[in-house]
Chains A and B, each alone.
Chain A
Amino acid sequence: MSLAAAGADALDHRRAVRWSEVRLIATVIAKRLLAGVVVLFIVTVLIFLFIHAAPGGPEVAIAGLDATPEQLAAIRELYRLDDPLPVQYWTYISSALTGDLGTSFMLREPVADAIGRALSGVTIPLIIITWTTALVFGVSLGYISARKRGQLLDRAIVGITVVGATAPMFATGLLISTVFGVQLRWFPFFGSGSGGLDTLYHLVLPALTMVIVMLASTTRISRVRFAQVLEEDQYAFAKARGVSPRAIFGRIIFRNSAVQLITWAGSVIVGLMTGLIIVEQIYSLPGIGSLLITAIGSRDIPMIQGITLVIAVAIVLVTIIVDVLCIIVDPRIRRGMEADA
C-alpha cells in the first residue's frame, strides 16, 4: 500500500470516528430530550396538582378583602377556575405547547412578558455574573489549594471559603450591604437600577453574596479533583519528561479534571436557581425568584406554572449540555457508551 493510500485510509478512519462521535452525541441529545419531555410533563402535572390542592383560590388575592361572594364567583367564572381539573390542565398545556403561557391574574399581562422581563432584567445577568465569578475564582483557588495542599495557604483558602459558605445567605447579604452599600457607599443594595450598566452596577452586591456562598463548594470540588490528578503517574511522568508547566496544566491537570468541573458547573447553575430566590428578596430585585414568591402568595396560577416550567426547562437543558460536554471532553465516556451500545 502506498503512502498516499495509507494516508487516505487514515483520513477516512478519522472521518468515520468523527462521524460516529457525532452520531453518538446526537443520540445522547435525542435520548436526553425525550427524557426531558417526560420530566417536564411530570413537573407540570405535579405543579398543577400542588397549586390546586392549596387552600384559598386566586380570586381572594385578586379582589382583596373587600370582595363580595358574588364578585369572587364572577372571577372564578371569568378565569374558568371551576372547570374540572383535567379540562384546566388541558387548556394550560395545549396553550403552553404553542408558546402561550397565559395571562397573569395579578400582573394583567402575558406571563411570558413578565418572565422575559424578569429574566433579562435581573435573573440571567445575575446568574451569568455569579456563575462565571464563582467558577473562575473557585477553580483558581481550588488549584492553588491543591498545589499547596497541607500548607498554610491551603488551610487558609479552605477555611475562609467554608466560613463564607456556612454563614446564612441572609446574614452575608446584610453584612455586604452594610459594608459596601451603607458604610463605603460603593454600590447600591436596593433594586435593579434603570437598565444597562446601571443594572450591572446594582447586581454587584447580590452577585458577591451568592459568589461567597458558592465559592466554598466550587473550591473544594476542584481542589479534590486537582489533588487527585496531581497524585497520578501521568503528572509525574510529564513533569519528569520536561513538559512545559502550561502544557501540563492544560493537557493533564485541567483535561483530566474537566468532567468533574463541568458536572459541578452544571450543578452550580441549578443551585443558583434556589439561591436567587433568597438574594432577590434581600436586595429587592424584581427577578424570577421575587416573581415566583409573589405569584405563590397570590395563587397566580398561570404565573406559577409559567415560572416553574421555565425553571424546569432550564434545568433539563443544563443537564443535557453537561452530558454532551462531558462526552466531548472525555473519550473514556464515549468509548464506554459505544461499548454499551
Chain B
Amino acid sequence: MSQPNQRRRRRSVGAALIALTLITVTGCASSGEAAPGDSSLDVIFPILRPTLDVRDNAAQTLGIQLLVNEPLFVYTPDGEFVPRLAESVEQPDPLTFVYTLRDVTFSDGTPLTADDVVYTFDLHRDPESTSVMARYWGAVESVEATGENEVTVKLSASDPEWPYTVAKTGIVSASYYESNGGQAGTPGAPQIGTGPYVVDEFKASAEVDLVRNPSYWGEEAPYESISFTAPKDDNSRLLALQSGNYDALLLPPLSQVKALSAVPGYVASEITDTSTYRINFDLTKPPFDELAVRQAISHAVDRDAIIGAVFNDHAEPADALVPPPILEVAGEPGPVAEAYDGFARDFDLDLDRAREYLAQSSVADGFSFTVPVQQSDPAQTLIAQIVAQSLAEIGVDMTLAPLDDNTYIQQVYFDKDIDGLSIDSWSAGSPEPAGMLFNAYTPGIFSNVSQLDSAAVAAGLAEYRELPVDSAERQPLLLDVLTEIHAERPTVPLLYPNLVFFTAEDTTVSGLNGFWWLSPLYEIIAPAS
C-alpha cells in the first residue's frame, strides 16, 4: 500500500524541479500529505472505459463503477446477495420483485428516490438503449415506482439471471443525468452516486481517481483514495510495477505473468477465471456440418501444447464450455468432475483417431479454410497458429486472417460470414450457472456462433429457467444439457485461463473469484493491518 503518497511526493519534487528550471514563482504543487492512517490503493488495471456512464461498463470495469454507483443488492464472494441500496425485496409472485429502498443521499446531497431507480433501470431497458448490459433486461416487463421508497419490477418470464442483473446495476441520480444532457459520467460531468467513493478525476480510457465519499451512509472504506490506470502495452505495465508506485496489478496477460512474478515486493494470487477459449464450428457450413469432421478436429488439437506455449501453464484444459466452479455453485463438485471426465475423453490428442474420423467424412483427403483471428488478443493468434499446425498433421489446411475487433465481431457473431470455424474466448457475464449456456446455445441468438439448434438443449434450458434458485435439480439438469451439447460437438473447449492479481506485500487478498468485480475491491484487496 503506498503511504500517502509516494507518488504524490515524487510529483511534488518533480514539479519543484521544473518550477526552478522555469523560474516560475507560482503554482507549486502541494505535497498532498494525508492524515496518519489514511492510505491509497493505486491499481494498474487492464482496461478502462471511455466513460463512467453505467451504460458503458460491464464485467471488470464494473469493479470501478460500483464503488461510486451502488446497486440495490451486492453479490458477495460467498455467493450471497446482501441488501445495499435496497433494505429488502419481496416476491408476491415468482415474476414480481418489490424493492424497498434505503433512506440515503447521493454525493451531491440529493436524496435517493424510487424515481432514480426507475430512471436507472430504464437507461438499460429502453429499446434504443446503448447499454452494454441491455441484453440482461430483455425479460423485464415493467419497472414502476410504487411508493416513495418502493420500486416494483415485473418480469415477463422467469429469469435466473435477474438477481445478478440487479447486483450489476449501479444506481444513478436521475436529476444529475437530466441536468447534464446525456453527458453524465464523462470527464466534463464526472459520475456521482451514493457509494463509498466519489470521482476525483476521470480521464477517458486512461485514469480514474476516486476519493472517499465524506457523506457516505455506510461503513467507511479503508482507503482514503483508490486510483486506476491502464497501461497501453506490456512494457509499460511491467515498468509500472517495477517502479513500486502501485499497490496492485490486476489481470495481466498470462504470457507476462512470469516476467511480472520477478518484480520484488508483490505477491501473485491466481485462480481459474470464468472464461473459456474454444473452437466453434458453424454447424450449417460444410464440411463442419459433418459430425465426423468435428470429431476429427477435436482429436487433432493439442490443448496441452497451447496451454504450455501460449499461457505458460497458467490455464487448465477445458472439457466443456462452462468452467466447473460456475456449475459447482448449483451443487456439489463431484458430479461435475465425473461428467467432465467423460467429455474429456473425446478431446484427447489422438491423431490416428482424428484421421479415422476424417476418413469417414466427405473430405477424407483434407480441405482448406480460413479462420479469422482478433488482432487485439495475441493469445488467440498463437492458439490459431498451434491449431493450424495440428490440423496440418491430418491434412487440413487452415489459414489465419487477422482482423480488428469490430470487423471480427461483425463477421463472426453478427454476420456469421466465416468459413465455418472460429476461435474465441467467451466469458460468463454473471455467476448464474446457466448464463454461458443461454448465451452460447439459445437458437437464433447472435452469440450462438455454432448455430446449434437442438430441441433437447432448448427444452433443457427452458426447464431450467423455471426451477427455483435453490432447487437441487439445477445442476443435474445443466449436466444433462451439457451432455446433449457435447454429443453434437459444436465446440472444442480448449482451456480455462487463470486470473491473476499481483498485490503489494502489505495488503491481503481474500474472497478472490471470477466475479470479483461484483464485490467492493477494497474488501478483496485489504490493508494488511
Contact = CB atoms under 8 A, between A and B. Distances in A.
Interface of A: 54-58, 60-72, 74-75, 77-78, 104, 106-109, 113-114, 117, 170, 174, 177-178, 181-182, 185-194, 196-198, 200-201, 204, 281-286, 290, 294, 297-299
Contacts of B127: 70-71, 74
Contact of B404 (A189, A190, A297): A297
Contact of A63 (B131, B185, B242, B376): B131
Given A56-B406, A174-B235, A185-B10, A62 B242 contact: no
B406 A299 contact: yes
Nearest to A183: B242
Given A108-B186, A109-B183, A181 B50 contact: no
A102 to B, nearest CB: 13
B129 to A, nearest CB: 7
A283 B50 contact: no
Given A57-B410, A69-B446, 4 more contacts: A63-B130, A66-B439, A108-B51, A189-B236
Contacts of B404: 56, 297
Interface string B306-343: 00000000000000000000000000000000000000
A298 B206 contact: no
B218 interface: no
Contact of A108 (B29, B53, B201, B447): B53
Given A60-B409, A197-B24, A201-B11, A281 B232 contact: yes
A85 to B, nearest CB: 18
Interface residues of B, number: 67
B205 to A, nearest CB: 6
Contacts of A65: 409, 413, 447
Choose among A178, A186, A194 the residue with the greatest number of B CB atoms under 10 Å from its CB: A194
A182 B239 contact: yes
A294 B50 contact: yes
Choose among B187, B206, B411 the residue with the greatest number of A CB atoms under 10 Å from its CB: B206
5 contacts: A61-B406, A64-B58, A189-B239, A197-B18, A284-B232
Nearest to A68: B135
Contacts of B242: 182
B138 interface: yes
Given A196-B27, A282-B236, A55 B407 contact: yes
A192 B229 CA distance: 11
Contacts of A201: 11, 14-15, 17-18
Contacts of A187: 14
Contacts of B414: 60, 69, 72
A203 B261 CA distance: 29
Contacts of A70: 127
Contacts of A298: 50, 406
Contact of B14 (A55, A177, A188, A191): A188
A75 B297 CA distance: 39
A284 B45 CA distance: 12
Contact of B410 (A60, A68, A114): A60
A284 B187 contact: no
A197 B14 CA distance: 9
Choose among B17, B204, B439, B447 the residue with the greatest number of A CB atoms under 10 Å from its CB: B204
Given A54-B407, A66-B135, A284-B236, A294 B186 contact: no
B132 interface: yes
B15 A198 contact: yes
A57 B11 contact: no
A197 B19 contact: yes
Contacts of B446: 67-69
A67 B134 CA distance: 7
Choose among A54, A60, A204, A298 the residue with the greatest number of B CB atoms under 10 Å from its CB: A60
A44 B6 CA distance: 47
B58 A66 contact: yes
Contact of A61 (B135, B231, B235, B405): B405
A74 B406 contact: no
Contacts of B50: 104, 106-108, 294, 298
A109 B180 CA distance: 10
B138 A290 contact: no
A120 to B, nearest CB: 12
A68 to B, nearest CB: 6
